[in-house]
Structures are given as structure tokens and as C-alpha cells.
Amino acid sequence: GTWERPRDEGTIPELLDRSGTDWSTAASGKWHRSGPRTANGYAHPNRQGFDHAAGSINNLYFDDEDSAAKGDTNYFHWEKNVDGQVELANTYATATTTADALSWVAGAREPRILYVAYNAAHSPFHAPPGSGVAASAGAPALHGAMVQDLDREVGRLLAGLPAGQRERTLVVFVADNGSPKSTITPPRLPTHGKTTLYEGGTNVPLIVAGPGVFRGGTTDALVHVVDLLPTLAEWAGVDPAKTGSPLDGVSFGDVLRPPASPGRRRFVYTERFGPTGPPPWQVDTRAVRDDRYKLLVGPDGEAFFDLLGRDDDGPARRPEELSGEERARYEALKAELERVERDARFAY
């Protein structure tokens, strides 16, 4: 479509540009924040502060919108955007993203920040080169093979950093959403995956490693993906207010340092609305959770979940069933949900 990420919303490289230190910045892989028909199109990543960008600006199942003669695109045949210039790539996209990242690292001066966004394990599902999985295997098996291949590529990326640089590099790995319906197998529920606000759709991996980060453990602290910008800004010694935009995130730097703190968040809010753009929306679902409980509000009304000891949502309960501590927690979640709905308006 024509919607793209508004350029007046600050990015991490733009923030670093305002720090007074000359950072090298690059993006390798998927840039799903603009498109061929948006205002800034293929130039968008560079205009959002990246010195260099190489990758796709669509999912890899899109044909070129301006020339159908180029045929179907996929992980083996796709449109590659290099600093605003488009070329057809006939290399395997996951491996190419790693290779492009390492090529840039080899020549980039420090300090630097590299954003690596793999298309995998997004559809179209397929057997990666050398996986040994049959092309006719079902979506769960193909998706699993793509995840394994992605894992190897992340390992290749880290192993490919020049000697001594890995030890002084902060590495953050994060996913953007849960698995799609066709790849989910029992005991998980396909209806609780990607595009939903159940834990299977929104609770994603977050791994941080590097100098100053506690080693070999996990934390139960509440963290949201919007917290990455202020956390990286703090780590780089930059005031995140220099983005010039209101911040939804809070730094979780204290969670990473030994001894780890419980973090600054009491709540994590998520939403799904559509179609893209201002209301009215055909889809409008919202959820908020604390360290144990979750409130989800959608077309079927309110549902309350106890997440203790789970990585799924468990049985849904209605607010009228609650009493005591659970009722108090529900009221706090409801108040936070109402606060966000009041304060977070569609701005464009």
C-alpha cells in the first residue's frame, strides 16, 4: 500500500547521529517499513538515518509491483534494494543477509550499529539449501528447518566478526511475532499464534549478550520491544530524548547488568488494529499484562488470564468471576488499559 513509517518518528541511527559521535550505521535484510508505492519507497531506510541499507522492502512472496514479467519472488529469487537501487537477486535470502552484514562490518569504522533483519522464518515456507528436509514436507517441518537455518546464520554472523570485536559488541536478538497458524502443532493452539494477542502471538524471544551483561541466565522482568531504543541509547551514552519524539519505551539496562534488577515496567501493552491507517478499524484488539496476570479485550469482550508458570495463556476467565487479589489485579490492568487507550491516539 501507501503507508510507511513516518520519517519524523526517530530511529536509533538518527538518535546516534545527534549524539555528537560519528557512528557508522547499516541495515541488512528486510525493511518492512516502506514499500514500492510509499512516499520514500526504496530510499526510506537511508532517509531514516542508515548510512547503508541492503535487503528487501517487502516480504519475499511479493512480485515486483511495477513489472509482473519478473515473475514470482521467493527466498531464491527476490528484489534486493541497495541504497535505493533495485536489483534482482538469485541468491538465498537468509544467507545473503548474513553475507551483506559481514561485508559491511569488514569495512565499517567504529563505533557502529548494525541492524540485521532476516526474512526467515516468514513464508513462503520452503526447504533451505542443505537442510535435508523434503520440499513436499508440511508447513511445520519446513518452518522448523527455516528456523534451524536462521540459527546457523546468526552463528555465522557472530563468528564472522573480526577478532576481538565480538567481545566488545553488544548483541540483541529479538523476534517480531509468534508463529503463524499453519506451523503450530499440538499442544499449542493455532488460533493463539501470529496476528493474535495471546502469548503465542506476542511473547517472543529476547536475547542480549555482550560487555557488561550478566551471563548465563534469564530474567522475569517485563520488557517491551519499544524499550530497545532507550536501552541502546543508554548503553551508548545518548539521551533518548534527542529523537525529538515522545517515547513509549523505558530502558531495561538495569535488567541486563549484574545483579539484575526487576526492571522499571509494571505493565506491557499490546494492540492489533486494521486496516492500517486511522479509525474506524475492522479489527481492534488490545491487551495488557503485569508480572502474572493478563487482560485481553476484543470482539468477544474481556478475558482474564493467570500466566503463572505458563508460556501460554491458559484458561480464560470473565471479570465477574474474580474476587480478592485477582479482582484487584484486574482493576489495575483495566485502569492501565483505559489510560493507554486515552493517551495513545493515532497520530497520522
Cα–Cα distance, 242 to 18 (Å, whole number) = 7
Radius of gyration of the chain (CA): 21
pLDDT, position 259: 86
Which residues 6+ apart lie within 8 Å of 186 measured at CB?
none
pLDDT given for residue 69 in this prediction: 47
Which residue, 185, 189, 265, is CA-closest to 224? 265
pTM summary value: 0.94
Q: What is the mean pLDDT of each run of 10 residues along the chain (348 residues)?
A: 88 91 96 93 97 95 57 88 95 98 96 97 96 96 98 97 91 96 95 96 95 92 96 93 88 92 95 88 95 95 96 95 98 97 82
Sign for the pseudo-dihedral over CA of 317, 322, 326, 330: positive
How high is the pLDDT of residue 63? Answer: 57
Enter the C-alpha cell of residue 299: 470482539
301, 297, 287, 284: which is closest to 346 by C-alpha? 284
